[in-house]
Chain A
Amino acid sequence: MDEQNIQIFIDGVKNYFLQQTGVAAEVGTPYLSDAQARVAYEYTGIIGISGSSRGCVYYTAPGALLRDVLLRIGESDVTPANQSDLAGEVANTIAGNARREFGKDFMISVPVVVSGGAERISLPPDLRAMVVPILWRKHAAALVVALAGTS
C-alpha cells in the first residue's frame, strides 16, 4: 500500500463530488483499521482490485449524505434504492479513475453495493486497511483502502 495509489482513490472521490455537486469534499486524517474494526455506514460501494496490488477499496456513506447528494444533483427520487445506486456510482467513478491511472497491470472489478453493517464487507483478515474519512457538507463518510502488494 503506498500513498500514490491511495491518493488516486482519494482524488477519484474528490473529483466525483466536485464535478457532480459543485461542492468539494474534505479529506479527513487517514488512519488504520483492522478486520475487527471495519468502518461501514448504511451504503457501501465496493470494488475489488487485483494484479500488482490486491484487495479491495470501498466507499461507504450514510443514507443522509447520499440523499443530500441526490437532491443536490436534481434527483427527486431519494429512495433507498437510489441511494444505493449512488453509492455504487461513486465506487464506479473510483474504479474508472483507478483504471485510467493504474494501467494494464491492474484488474478492477465491477462495483458491488452492500447495505447494512460492516459484517457484509469482507476484507483480507490479516491486512490493516487505510480509512480515509471523507466529509461532504458536514456529512461523514469514508473511503477504505485495503490493499496488499503481490509477492
Chain B
Amino acid sequence: MRFFGLGKYRVIVLTVAMFLVFDLGVLVLNFVISSQIAADALAVNMAGRQRMLSQRAAKTLWQISERAAAGQPAGGETAELAEAVSLFDETLTAFLQGGSIRGGAGTTVTLARIDDADGIAILQRANAVWAPYRARITTLLANPAPSVDEVRSTLDVAHSANLELLKLMNELTSQVEVTAAAKATTLRAVQIGGITLATANFVLILFHFLRKLRQGDALLEQAKKETDDILVTVNEGLFLLGRDFRIGSQHSQALEAILGRKDLGGADFVDLLRGIVTEKTVGMSRDYLDLLFGERVNEKLVSSLNPLDVVEVHFDDQRGGFVTKYLEFRFNRVREGGVVAHLLVTANDVTKRVQLERALKEAHERAKGQMDLLVEVLQVEPDALRDFLAAAALCLDKVNTLLRERTASATDRREAVIAIYRLLHGLKGDASGVGLSGLAEAIHDVEDLVVALREKHASLDGNDFLPLAVRLERLFAQVDALRGVVNRFAQIRGVVAVEPARPATETDAAQAPLVVRWREFATRLAEKHGKHVQFHYHGIDPGKLASPYREALPTVINQFIRNAVVHGVEAPAQRLIQGKPAVGNLALYLAARDDGGVDLSFRDDGAGLQLAAIRQAAIDRGLLSAAEADACDARRLVELIFKPAFSTRASADEDGGRGVGLDVIRAHVNEWGGNIRIGSTPREYCHFRISLPRPSPQLSAGAAPAHGEAA
C-alpha cells in the first residue's frame, strides 16, 4: 500500500477531502460576508440615525429660539441639542475613520470606515456642511444665557445647513444600502458556486464509486463463480480446516458424497470422524492435526504419520449395519503472515482402489495358501475328491443339524455328542482315505473337543457347545476352500487339457478309482504304522453300486481298512516270528446280488480278534465288571467292539484308538436293514461279512440316516 497506506481507497479519500474543502470554503466565505453584511446593516442604521439627529438638532434649536423670543430661559432643550450634536458628530467621524460609537439603549457599537469612493465623497461634503454648523451650536451651548439674536443667527445657519445635511445623510444611507446589497449578491454567488462544486464533487464520487463498486462486484462474482464451478466439478473433497478443527464455510460438493452428509460448513472435523472411524483413529487424528498446526515439525516429515492417509470408514446404514468405505485425507498447511492459519484438506474416496488392492492381495495369499491344498489335491483322483467333498459338506450339515435339533435336554445333548463323534470320525477316516491329511488333522482336533464334551461328568449345557460350533464353522470353511481349489483345478484342467479323450472301455474293477483309493489308503496307513500290507480286490466296480451304497460304502470300507491296519495286521517282524509273510493281506470282495442287494466281505490275515484285550478294555472302560468280563463268552465280547467309544488301543491318534469306527459300520448296516457277521481266528485272520438288502426308496432318495455319516 502506497500513499499513506490508503491503497485502493486513495481516490475516495481525496474526493471526500475535496468535498470537505469546498464545504469549508463556502462556510468561511459565508461567515466573512455575513459579518460584513451585519456591519453594513449597522452602517445603514447609523446613517438613518444621522438623518434623525440632524432634524432633532434643528428642531431643538428652534424650540430654544422660541423660548428666547418669549423671554424664557432654555430648559431641557439645551441638553437635548448637545446630545444630538455630540452623537451626530461622533457618528460622522466614525463613518470617516471607523471606531466605536454609542448605539441604541446605551450600547457601544463599532462602525467600520466607509471605503467606497462615493460614500467618502458624501461624507466629506457632509463634514463641510457640518463643521460650521457644529461650531455655531457649540458656541451657543457654551453661553448659558444667549441672547435672542445670538439664537436667531444660529437658527439661520441651521436653516441653511439642515436640508443639505438631511439630503446628504439620505444619500449616505442609500449608498450604504447599495454596498450591502452588492455584498449580499456576492455571498449568494459564492454559496451557489460552493454548493455547485460540492454537488459536482458528490456526483463524481457517486458515479466513480458506483462504477468501481460494480466492477468490484462483477470481479467478485466472477471469482466466486469460478470457485463455485471448481468446487462443484472437482471430484476430490476440498475444504479448509481451522485451528479449532472446524471445516470452513466453503467446500467442494464431492465432499458431501465422500463423507455421506450435508451441512459440513462449520462442522467439527474430529467430531465428524468420531462417528465413522474407531476411537483409536480419532485420537491419533487429533494428535496429528495438533502436530500440523504446530510450527515446530516439518510438514513433509510428519506426513508419513497421517492416520487418515488411507482410512477405513464405516457409515451407519440405518439398518443395523455399516457401509464401509476407504477414504484418503491429505493435509497441507496454509500460512498467513508466516503462521499456519488453516490446513487445506483433500479427501478422496479410494474404496475401489483399496478393494482392488485387497482383492489382489487376498487372491495372492489365497493362492499361496491354496498351493499346499493344491499339492494335496493333485495327488487325489479328482472324481473321488469331488465325491468326498460333497459328502463332507453333507456330513458337516448333519453335525450342524444335530446341534440344532437334538439338544433339547441334557440326555439329547449327550446322544448328540456321540452321534457327532461318529460322524466326525467317519469323515476323518474318509479324509485320510482320499489323502487329505490336513483336513483329517483338523477334524481330529475337533474330535478332541467332542471327546472333552463326552467325558465331561457335569451336565452339558448349550454354552459348552460354543467352541464346537465355532470349529464346525472352520471345518465348513476348509471344505469350502478345498471345493474352491477343486473347481478351479477342474476349470484349469478343462482349459489346458490337450490329451484327447480316451474311448470308453470296460474298466477293470480292480483299477476302479475307489479301489485304487482304498489301496493307496491301506498302503499309506500301513507305512505310517511301520507295517506292510497288500490290498486285494474282487468284485464289481464300486462306482456302479446303487445309491446310497455307492456314497456310504466307501466310509464302511475305510473303517475296515483302518481297523485292520491299526488293530489287525502285525508289524513285519512279529509276522515273521509267527511264520507269516511280512506283508499283510487285506482282501475285499464286493458283489451285487440279483435281488438288488449287496454282499461285502472284508478279510485280513492279521492277529484276529483278541478276546483278552477286548475283555480288559471292557473292564477299563467300565462296560463290564471284572467278574462279568470273566464270565463273558466270546460272542458277547465280540459284540462289544461295536459299542460306541470302544477301543483296545491305549492312546488315540488320528487313525484309531478312540473306539469309533466299528460302531459307525454297525449303525450304517442297521439303518440299511442289513446284517453283519464276524469270523476270526486268533493270530490268523479276521473276516467281516455284510449282507445288504436292495436299498429302499427312502434311502435311495437320500433320507438322512439317524446315525449315519457320509462317505
State A130–B467 Cα separation when bound (angstroms).
11
State A46–B322 Cα separation when bound (angstroms).
11
Partner of A27, one of B318, B403, B463: B463
Q: Would you call A58 and B320 a contact (CB within 8 A)? A: yes
Q: Would you call B461 and A27 a contact (CB within 8 A)? A: yes
A1-B470, A31-B469, A133-B462 as given contacts; A54 in contact with B324, CB under 8 Å: yes
A-B contact count (CB 8 A): 105
Question: Taking beta carbons and an 8 Å cutoff, which residues of A are in contact with B?
Answer: 1-3, 6-7, 10, 26-32, 45-51, 54, 56, 58, 91, 104-107, 109-112, 114, 121-122, 128, 130-133, 151
Which listed segment binds A: B274-282, B540-548, B563-571, B668-676? B274-282
B477 — nearest CB in chain A belongs to which residue? A128
Partner of A46, one of B277, B280, B321, B461: B321
State A105–B280 Cα separation when bound (angstroms).
7
From residue A51, how far is it (CB to closest CB) to chain B in Å? Answer: 6
Q: Would you call A30 and B465 a contact (CB within 8 A)? A: yes
State A50–B463 Cα separation when bound (angstroms).
25
Shortest beta-carbon contacts, A-B, top 9:
A46-B320, A29-B407, A104-B280, A48-B321, A112-B320, A31-B403, A30-B469, A31-B404, A28-B462
From residue A12, how far is it (CB to closest CB) to chain B in Å? Answer: 14
Q: Is B208 an interface residue (CB 8 A)?
A: no
> Which applies to chain B's interface (DSSP): helix, strand, loop or mixed?
helix
Q: Would you call A107 and B463 a contact (CB within 8 A)? A: no
Q: Would you call B322 and A54 a contact (CB within 8 A)? A: yes
Knowing that A107-B278, A122-B321, A151-B358 are A-B contacts, what are 4 other residue pairs whose CB atoms are under 8 Å apart, sorted by A's residue number? A31-B469, A109-B314, A132-B466, A133-B462
Q: Would you call B320 and A31 a contact (CB within 8 A)? A: no
Partner of A29, one of B278, B280, B403: B403
From residue B469, how far is it (CB to closest CB) to chain A in Å? Answer: 4
Q: Is B116 an interface residue (CB 8 A)?
A: no
Q: Would you call B470 and A130 a contact (CB within 8 A)? A: yes
Q: Is B362 an interface residue (CB 8 A)?
A: yes
State A54–B463 Cα separation when bound (angstroms).
23
A49 — nearest CB in chain B belongs to which residue? B322
Q: Would you call B462 and A110 a contact (CB within 8 A)? A: no
Residue interface mask B186-212, A partner, CB < 8 A = 1: 000000000000000000000000000
Q: Would you call A32 and B466 a contact (CB within 8 A)? A: no
B279 — nearest CB in chain A belongs to which residue? A104
Q: Would you call B473 and A51 a contact (CB within 8 A)? A: no
Q: Would you call A29 and B465 a contact (CB within 8 A)? A: yes
Q: Would you call B476 and A7 a contact (CB within 8 A)? A: no
State A111–B462 Cα separation when bound (angstroms).
26
B280 — nearest CB in chain A belongs to which residue? A104
Q: Would you call B472 and A32 a contact (CB within 8 A)? A: yes
From residue A135, how far is it (CB to closest CB) to chain B in Å? Answer: 9
State A53–B461 Cα separation when bound (angstroms).
27
- 20 CB contacts below 8 A, A to B, read A1-B473, A26-B461, A29-B465, A30-B462, A31-B400, A31-B404, A45-B320, A48-B322, A49-B322, A58-B320, A104-B278, A105-B278, A109-B314, A110-B316, A111-B320, A112-B319, A122-B319, A128-B476, A132-B462, A133-B462
**Chain B residues with CB below 8 A from A2, complex form:** 470
**Chain B residues with CB below 8 A from A30, complex form:** 403, 462, 465-466, 469
**Chain B residues with CB below 8 A from A6, complex form:** 466, 470
State A107–B318 Cα separation when bound (angstroms).
14
State A61–B312 Cα separation when bound (angstroms).
33
From residue B206, how far is it (CB to closest CB) to chain A in Å? Answer: 61
State A7–B362 Cα separation when bound (angstroms).
29
**Chain B residues with CB below 8 A from A10, complex form:** 463, 466
Residue interface mask B80-97, A partner, CB < 8 A = 1: 000000000000000000
Q: Would you call A29 and B462 a contact (CB within 8 A)? A: yes
Q: Would you call B316 and A151 a contact (CB within 8 A)? A: no
Q: Is B361 an interface residue (CB 8 A)?
A: yes
Q: Is B455 an interface residue (CB 8 A)?
A: no
A107-B278, A133-B462 as given contacts; A50 in contact with B320, CB under 8 Å: no
Q: Would you call A114 and B280 a contact (CB within 8 A)? A: no
From residue B436, how far is it (CB to closest CB) to chain A in Å? Answer: 21
Q: Would you call B319 and A46 a contact (CB within 8 A)? A: yes
**Chain A residues with CB below 8 A from B318, complex form:** 112
From residue A8, how far is it (CB to closest CB) to chain B in Å? Answer: 12
In chain B, residues 360-375, which have Cβ atoms closer than 8 Å to a Cβ of chain A?
A: 361-362, 365
State A104–B274 Cα separation when bound (angstroms).
11
State A10–B464 Cα separation when bound (angstroms).
12
Q: Is B653 an interface residue (CB 8 A)?
A: no
State A7–B318 Cα separation when bound (angstroms).
26
Partner of A3, one of B278, B362, B466: B466
A32-B473, A151-B362 as given contacts; A107 in contact with B322, CB under 8 Å: yes
**Chain B residues with CB below 8 A from A54, complex form:** 322, 324
**Chain B residues with CB below 8 A from A50, complex form:** 312, 314, 322, 324
From residue B468, how far is it (CB to closest CB) to chain A in Å? Answer: 8
**Chain A residues with CB below 8 A from B403, complex form:** 29-32
State A31–B279 Cα separation when bound (angstroms).
33
Q: Is B413 an interface residue (CB 8 A)?
A: yes
Q: Which of A30, A47, A106 has the most CB of B within 10 A?
A: A30
State A49–B279 Cα separation when bound (angstroms).
14
State A56–B318 Cα separation when bound (angstroms).
13
State A109–B324 Cα separation when bound (angstroms).
12
Q: Would you call A7 and B361 a contact (CB within 8 A)? A: no
State A114–B476 Cα separation when bound (angstroms).
30
